[in-house]
Amino acid sequence: MLRPQDTSTRERKSLTGLWEFRLDPTRAGRSARWFADSLPDAVRAPVPASYNDVFADATVRDHVGDVWYQTTARVPRGWEGQRVVLRFDSATHRAVVWVGDTKVAEHEGGYTPFEADVTSLLAPGDEVRITAVVNNELSFQSIPPGIVEDTPQGLRQLYFHDFFNYAGLHRAVWLYATPTTYVSDVTVVTDRDGSTGLVRYAVQSSGDADHTVQVTLRDAEGRTVATGDGAGGELSVGDAHLWAPGDGYLYELEVELVDAEGATLDSYLQTVGIRTVEVRGIQFLINGEPFYFKGFGKHEDSAVRGKGHDDAFLVHDFALLDWIGANSFRTSHYPYADEVYDYADREGVVILDEVAAVGQNVELAGGIFGGKSYVTFSPETVNDVSREVHAQAIRELVARDKNHPSVVLWSIANEPESQTPESREYFEPLFALTRELDPTRPVGFANFALASHGKCLVSDLGDVLMLNRYYGWYVNTGDLAAAEQAWQTELEAWATDGKPIIITEYGADTVAGLHSVAPVPWTEEYQVEYLEMNHRVFDRVDAVVGEHVWNFADFATTSGVRRVDGNKKGVFTRDRRPKAAAHLLRRRWTRDV
Tell me the catalytic residues. Answer: 415, 505
Residue 266 or 490: the one with the smaller Cβ distance to ligand GCB is: 490
Q: Is 569 in the site for ligand GCB (CB under 6 A)?
A: yes
CB of 303 to ligand GCB, least distance (A): 18
Residue 249 or 487: the one with the smaller Cβ distance to ligand GCB is: 487
Contact status, residue 180 vs residue 82, Cβ threshold 8 Å: yes
| Backbone CA torsion sign across 69, 70, 73, 79 | positive
- 154/274 Cα distance (integer angstroms): 53
**Mutual angle of helices 524-540 and 480-495, in 10-degree steps:** 30
- 43/41 Cα distance (integer angstroms): 7
CB of 299 to ligand GCB, least distance (A): 9
For residue 361, give the DSSP letter: -
Q: Is 296 in the site for ligand GCB (CB under 6 A)?
A: no
SS3 459: helix
CB of 161 to ligand GCB, least distance (A): 6
Residue 390 or 569: the one with the smaller Cβ distance to ligand GCB is: 569
Cα–Cα nearest to 23, from 36, 9, 31, 34 = 34
- 362/139 Cα distance (integer angstroms): 12
Cα–Cα nearest to 225, from 243, 240, 212, 244 = 240
CB of 369 to ligand GCB, least distance (A): 9
The correct pick among 24, 162, 338, 438 for binding ligand GCB (CB under 6 A) is 162
Among residue numbers 511 through 550, which ones bind ligand GCB (CB under 6 A)? Answer: 550
CA distances from 587 to 61, 222, 321, 328, 519 (A): 40, 38, 13, 17, 20
> Which distant-in-sequence residues (6+ apart) come within 8 Å of 77 by Cβ?
124, 125
Beta-strand relationship, 544-550 and 501-505: parallel
CB of 295 to ligand GCB, least distance (A): 15
Q: Is 360 in the site for ligand GCB (CB under 6 A)?
A: no
Among residue numbers 73 through 132, which ones bind ligand GCB (CB under 6 A)? Answer: none
- 205/188 Cα distance (integer angstroms): 15
How many residues sit close enough to ligand GCB to count as binding (CB under 6 A)? 10
Bridge partners (DSSP) listed for residue 267: 256
Residue 153 or 559: the one with the smaller Cβ distance to ligand GCB is: 559
CB of 504 to ligand GCB, least distance (A): 8
Residue 69 or 550: the one with the smaller Cβ distance to ligand GCB is: 550
Q: Is 468 in the site for ligand GCB (CB under 6 A)?
A: yes
> Residue 50 carries which side chain, given as an amino acid letter?
S
Q: Is 574 in the site for ligand GCB (CB under 6 A)?
A: no
The strands making up 66-74's β-sheet, listed across from edge to edge, are 43-47, 17-24, 66-74, 127-135, 94-99, 102-108
- 441/352 Cα distance (integer angstroms): 10
The correct pick among 414, 459, 476, 510 for binding ligand GCB (CB under 6 A) is 414
Cα–Cα nearest to 50, from 61, 34, 36 = 61
Residue 403 Cα to chain centre, angstroms: 15
Q: Is 354 in the site for ligand GCB (CB under 6 A)?
A: no
Residue 266 or 417: the one with the smaller Cβ distance to ligand GCB is: 417
Residue by residue, what is the 3-state secondary structure of 242-257? CCECCECCCEEEEEEE
For residue 222, give the DSSP letter: S
- 24/137 Cα distance (integer angstroms): 13
- 239/116 Cα distance (integer angstroms): 42
The CA R_g of the chain, rounded to the nearest whole Å, is 24
CB of 282 to ligand GCB, least distance (A): 24
Contact status, residue 169 vs residue 176, Cβ threshold 8 Å: no
Q: Is 415 in the site for ligand GCB (CB under 6 A)?
A: yes
CB of 505 to ligand GCB, least distance (A): 5
Q: Is 567 in the site for ligand GCB (CB under 6 A)?
A: yes
The 319-338 contact track toward ligand GCB, x by CB under 6 A, reads --------------x-----
Cα–Cα nearest to 299, from 574, 563, 46 = 574
**Mutual angle of helices 384-401 and 421-437, in 10-degree steps:** 30
- 350/294 Cα distance (integer angstroms): 10
Residue 50 or 332: the one with the smaller Cβ distance to ligand GCB is: 332
CB of 572 to ligand GCB, least distance (A): 15
Q: Is 487 in the site for ligand GCB (CB under 6 A)?
A: no
The correct pick among 505, 524, 529, 547 for binding ligand GCB (CB under 6 A) is 505
Residue 162 or 490: the one with the smaller Cβ distance to ligand GCB is: 162
Residue 317 or 505: the one with the smaller Cβ distance to ligand GCB is: 505
CB of 163 to ligand GCB, least distance (A): 6
Residue nearest to ligand GCB (CB): 162
Contact status, residue 79 vs residue 177, Cβ threshold 8 Å: yes
Residue 159 or 249: the one with the smaller Cβ distance to ligand GCB is: 159
Residue 89 or 505: the one with the smaller Cβ distance to ligand GCB is: 505
> Residue 499 carries which side chain, given as an amino acid letter?
K
Taking the alpha carbons at both ends of the chain, their separation in whole angstroms is 38
The 192-231 contact track toward ligand GCB, x by CB under 6 A, reads ----------------------------------------
Cα–Cα nearest to 240, from 214, 275, 270 = 275
CB of 564 to ligand GCB, least distance (A): 12
Provide the binding-site residues for ligand GCB, judged by CB under 6 A.
161-162, 333, 414-415, 468, 505, 550, 567, 569
